[in-house]
Chains A and B, each alone.
Chain A
Amino acid sequence: MPAQSQIHARPRRVPLLAGRLSRPAGAHLRYRWYVPYLFLLPGLSLYLLWMVYPLGYEFYISFFDWKIMPGQTSQYIGLENYRRVLDDKYFWLSLENTVRYTVVTVIGQMVIGLALAVLVHRVFIAKRLFRAIYYLPVVTSWVVVSFLFQFIFSSHPGGLANYVLTQLGLLSAPVAWMSETKTAWVIIYTLGIWKGIGWSMVIFLAALQGIPVELYEAAAIDGAGEWGQFRRVTLPLIRRTTLFVLVALIIGGFQVFISVYLITGGGPLHRTEVVLSYMYDRAFDRLWFGYGAAISYILAAIVVFISFVQMRFFRQTDEE
């Protein structure tokens, strides 16, 4: 708000001095209500075309037995797709897997990300270098690292993970990582955490840099040790950042797709299926597009609901 009122106020205060220069360009722009929209138009139209329109269309599709081939007719079936999705054991399995993935990777990313942020915050030499190194996985392509992880966790005795772990004596025999449900999850979780740590670290680091040093000095004088300072000064002051990171990571966790699709393809037996990989399978493999659209909307509803509850919860505790 303050920024806006300043802009409005400026021409009135400086008419005599600025005179001709400021008036024709700036003065009557503010009378035309549509001008801001003109500036928004390029971005907004792309947003409408590529985001809002497909979303709306997808919602429409979710009420049909949708046929994709030209010339076939799609039949309106009301809520039938939603009913069938909620009745589908594989949907529930994929939802359970998605929730588990989200819990594991969000905790992993936040704890390790925060720990790294605290460490990097204290490093004085080559701070930028460390920051860049930890951030690197974030900017790499999901597709590329998914394939890399597939190679690392090859079931062959000469696969990197198998080789190193057997040489170290941590494994007695090479593991067929991809064909067992549990070990397949280990790969997917590890990838999810490794790739996300850098992002939460950078956000936490920014928050840490905003905490005045005096607070730590005061706490130290009051007799707080390292752990005490972390708990009583750092954590409370980065609360809002923590909330932001939590919400963003949870939303991201629910949208896990590429790594699962590329590493296990949902197998064995749909046991590593997550909601989006299952949606993709039903829509693009079986051509059940109405069904897939219904799955997407159910997932979207869940994510919106969770974010809403989180926001409310944090606002409440903030007010206390």
Chain B
Amino acid sequence: MKHKMLVVVLALALILPAAAVQAQGDGVTLQFWHTYNETSPENEMLVTTLIPMFEEAHPGIKVESVPFPYGEFRQTLLTSLAGGEGPDLARLDIIWSPEFAALGVLEPLDEIMPDFEELAAAVFPGPLSTNVYDGHTYGLPLDTNTRVFMWNKTLYERAGLEGPPATIDELKAQCEPIKALGDDIYLFSDGGTYGWAVLPWIWSFGGDITDPEITRASGYLNSEATVAAYEFLAEMVNSGCFSPSFLGGGMDTGQGYFNDIFASMLDGPWMFPIAEAQYPDFEIQAALMPAGPGGSISVVGGENIAVFKGSRDTEAALEFLRFTQSDEYQLKMSEVGQLTVKPALLEDEYFQNHPYYGVFLEQLQTARARTPHPTWTQMEEILSDAGQLILRGEASAQEALDAAAEEIDSLLAEGL
């Protein structure tokens, strides 16, 4: 008797999970992997407002949001894809799109979406172009941003400074009054010598990384203007004007800015919602990137959304992708610091009267994107290492950049 009971229980135990799967058989659960910041309102907006909105409009499709810290995301995604356990959709930093496209894991949207042309026409061409690899478009832009010059009013006032510098020379002149406030107060800070940090300086000095066709770095990365940009950074770090966080491992830039340790930084629109949530009394002051001989040129950031080959349900995934391109999604995300990629929306009252997007939209007029190339991650490592050698005074800017240019040349010649 006992045995029979056991058999029945076991049999039931085996059947029940299968039945549960059966029950939701007509529906599909899509996995959406992203790096929306979990400690800022953008993730909450996605999970509590936007996804439910989508699910209500599309019965049978569920969307599971899986957030990752930015630093781990690329690698986690790569290994998961290799193991055949990737997501259906992901929000990719614009700089990763060419690499994933080159690996052959993304769906070419221009081939599989009948309404692709229509969607593509509704977004800014610049961010859209970051999805193009080898003649096909592997994603659509989700949000765009750039870094602007944010200054700390308290420190500026204490130092007797009137306002933000319009030029790099003016910025340099602000060092002395700021340093007078104390040795552990810095005029400016950034977290390292990676592209996102150094490119605004390189471009504003009139320098560059490669030729426009991305075939070689020699003559660009080691040009007089790029060398001057690095020499400026080295001088500022060594004289204690810019914080030693440039050498890595230092204090978090945003934290130092909010806590009156760093008088200025370059950062994106998401800092406003973060300030509102974590430092409600703090008033961020934003201005354009100080201009150099090359103008006031900042770096374009942003994310794309892409659908992966081997999705559980490609049609459903495309449906969610369409939803992210809708006015609703774009406007809601703009409320939490994710600037829209649809120019038509900027006519909207919301943006016309917006407290802080104006300066970003102005900066975006001249901002440039990091080299859209599948080997960018490797190029950036070379760039970042060269920057460290220069800032640590272990090589002259010319020497380090000559060597880096040569390395990037051979990388571009070899391909991925």
Query: Which one, B45-53, B161-169, B248-256, is touching chain A?
Result: B248-256
Nearest-CB distance from B396 to chain A (Å)? 16
Distance, CA A177 to CA B385, complexed state (A): 18
Q: Are B82 and A68 in contact, CB atoms less than 8 angstroms apart?
A: yes
Complex contacts, B377 vs chain A, CB 8 Å = 285-286
Q: Are A268 and B104 in contact, CB atoms less than 8 angstroms apart?
A: no
Q: Are B389 and A269 in contact, CB atoms less than 8 angstroms apart?
A: yes
Q: Are A179 and B244 in contact, CB atoms less than 8 angstroms apart?
A: yes
Query: Which one, B73-81, B338-346, B347-355, is touching chain A?
Result: B73-81
Nearest-CB distance from B325 to chain A (Å)? 27
Q: Are A267 and B248 in contact, CB atoms less than 8 angstroms apart?
A: yes
Complex contacts, B81 vs chain A, CB 8 Å = 69-70
Distance, CA A70 to CA B105, complexed state (A): 8
Distance, CA A176 to CA B245, complexed state (A): 9
User: Would you list which residues of chain A between 130 and 180 have a CB under 8 Å from chain B?
Assistant: 155-157, 176-179
Number of interchain pairs (Cβ within 8 Å)? 52
Distance, CA A177 to CA B250, complexed state (A): 9
Give the nearest-CB partner of A180 in chain B: B247
Give the nearest-CB partner of A156 in chain B: B251
Give the nearest-CB partner of A159 in chain B: B251
Q: Does A287 contact B (CB under 8 A)?
A: yes
Distance, CA A285 to CA B77, complexed state (A): 11
Q: Are B244 and A285 in contact, CB atoms less than 8 angstroms apart?
A: no
Q: Are B385 and A269 in contact, CB atoms less than 8 angstroms apart?
A: yes
Q: Are A72 and B248 in contact, CB atoms less than 8 angstroms apart?
A: no
Q: Are A176 and B75 in contact, CB atoms less than 8 angstroms apart?
A: no
Distance, CA A264 to CA B388, complexed state (A): 15
Q: Does A60 contact B (CB under 8 A)?
A: no
Residue-wise, chain A 274-291 has the 8 Å CB interface mask toward B (1 for contact) of 000000000011110000
Complex contacts, A286 vs chain B, CB 8 Å = 377-378
Q: Does A71 contact B (CB under 8 A)?
A: yes
Nearest-CB distance from A88 to chain B (Å)? 13
Q: Does B84 contact A (CB under 8 A)?
A: yes
Q: Are B248 and A69 in contact, CB atoms less than 8 angstroms apart?
A: no
Q: Does B184 contact A (CB under 8 A)?
A: yes
One of B75, B104, B248 near A284 (C-beta < 8 A): B75
User: Would you list which residues of chain B between 333 and 381 have a CB under 8 Å from chain A?
Assistant: 377-378
Distance, CA A248 to CA B355, complexed state (A): 63
Q: Does B103 contact A (CB under 8 A)?
A: yes
Complex contacts, B392 vs chain A, CB 8 Å = 268
Complex contacts, B248 vs chain A, CB 8 Å = 178-179, 267-268
Distance, CA A179 to CA B78, complexed state (A): 28
Q: Does B219 contact A (CB under 8 A)?
A: no
One of B79, B104, B249 near A155 (C-beta < 8 A): B249
Distance, CA A157 to CA B84, complexed state (A): 46
User: Would you list which residues of chain B between 37 and 95 have a CB under 8 Å from chain A?
Assistant: 75, 78-79, 81-82, 84
Q: Are A177 and B75 in contact, CB atoms less than 8 angstroms apart?
A: no
Distance, CA A6 to CA B247, complexed state (A): 69
Distance, CA A301 to CA B105, complexed state (A): 36
Q: Are B105 and A176 in contact, CB atoms less than 8 angstroms apart?
A: no
Q: Are A69 and B244 in contact, CB atoms less than 8 angstroms apart?
A: no
Q: Does B295 contact A (CB under 8 A)?
A: no
Nearest-CB distance from B410 to chain A (Å)? 14
Nearest-CB distance from B222 to chain A (Å)? 19
Q: Does B310 contact A (CB under 8 A)?
A: yes
Give the nearest-CB partner of A181 in chain B: B392
Residue-wise, chain B 389-400 has the 8 Å CB interface mask toward A (1 for contact) of 100100000000
> Of residues B78, B82, B249, B250, which shows the largest number of chain A Cβ atoms within 10 Å of its Cβ?
B249
One of B104, B247, B389 near A69 (C-beta < 8 A): B104
Distance, CA A264 to CA B244, complexed state (A): 16
Nearest-CB distance from A255 to chain B (Å)? 21
User: Would you list which residues of chain A between 172 and 208 have a CB under 8 Å from chain B?
Assistant: 176-179
Give the nearest-CB partner of B249 in chain A: A178
One of B78, B244, B385 near A287 (C-beta < 8 A): B78
Distance, CA A189 to CA B378, complexed state (A): 30
Complex contacts, A157 vs chain B, CB 8 Å = 184
Nearest-CB distance from B334 to chain A (Å)? 33
Q: A69-B81, A69-B82, A70-B84 are in contact. Are A176 and B388 (CB under 8 A)?
A: no
Distance, CA A68 to CA B377, complexed state (A): 18
Nearest-CB distance from A264 to chain B (Å)? 8
Nearest-CB distance from A259 to chain B (Å)? 15
Q: A157-B184, A268-B388, A269-B389 are in contact. Are A176 and B103 (CB under 8 A)?
A: no
Nearest-CB distance from B294 to chain A (Å)? 28
Q: Are A177 and B84 in contact, CB atoms less than 8 angstroms apart?
A: no
Distance, CA A72 to CA B104, complexed state (A): 8
Q: A157-B184, A284-B75 are in contact. Are A179 and B247 (CB under 8 A)?
A: yes
Give the nearest-CB partner of B246 in chain A: A179
Q: Are B249 and A176 in contact, CB atoms less than 8 angstroms apart?
A: yes
Q: Are B104 and A71 in contact, CB atoms less than 8 angstroms apart?
A: yes
Nearest-CB distance from B92 to chain A (Å)? 16
Residue-wise, chain A 253-279 has the 8 Å CB interface mask toward B (1 for contact) of 000000000001001111000000000
Complex contacts, B82 vs chain A, CB 8 Å = 68-70
Give the nearest-CB partner of B247 in chain A: A179
Nearest-CB distance from B79 to chain A (Å)? 6
Distance, CA A177 to CA B251, complexed state (A): 12
Q: Are A176 and B104 in contact, CB atoms less than 8 angstroms apart?
A: no
Distance, CA A69 to CA B105, complexed state (A): 8
Nearest-CB distance from B385 to chain A (Å)? 5
Complex contacts, B389 vs chain A, CB 8 Å = 269
Complex contacts, B385 vs chain A, CB 8 Å = 269-270
Distance, CA A284 to CA B76, complexed state (A): 9
Nearest-CB distance from A184 to chain B (Å)? 8
Nearest-CB distance from A272 to chain B (Å)? 11
User: Would you list which residues of chain B between 299 and 320 have a CB under 8 Å from chain A?
Assistant: 310
Give the nearest-CB partner of A263 in chain B: B249
Complex contacts, B184 vs chain A, CB 8 Å = 157
Distance, CA A299 to CA B9, complexed state (A): 52
Q: Are A155 and B251 in contact, CB atoms less than 8 angstroms apart?
A: yes
Give the nearest-CB partner of A177 in chain B: B249
Q: Are A269 and B249 in contact, CB atoms less than 8 angstroms apart?
A: no
Q: Are A155 and B244 in contact, CB atoms less than 8 angstroms apart?
A: yes
Distance, CA A267 to CA B81, complexed state (A): 27
Q: Are B249 and A179 in contact, CB atoms less than 8 angstroms apart?
A: yes
Which 9 pairs show the lowest CB-CB distances between chains A and B? A178-B249, A68-B82, A179-B247, A179-B249, A179-B248, A69-B103, A269-B388, A155-B250, A269-B385
Given contacts A69-B82, A179-B247, 4 further A-B contacts (CB under 8 A): A155-B251, A176-B244, A176-B250, A286-B378
| 6 interchain pairs, CB-CB under 8 A | A68-B82, A71-B104, A72-B104, A178-B249, A268-B249, A269-B388
- Interface set of A (CB-CB < 8 Å, partner B): 68-72, 155-157, 176-179, 264, 267-270, 284-287
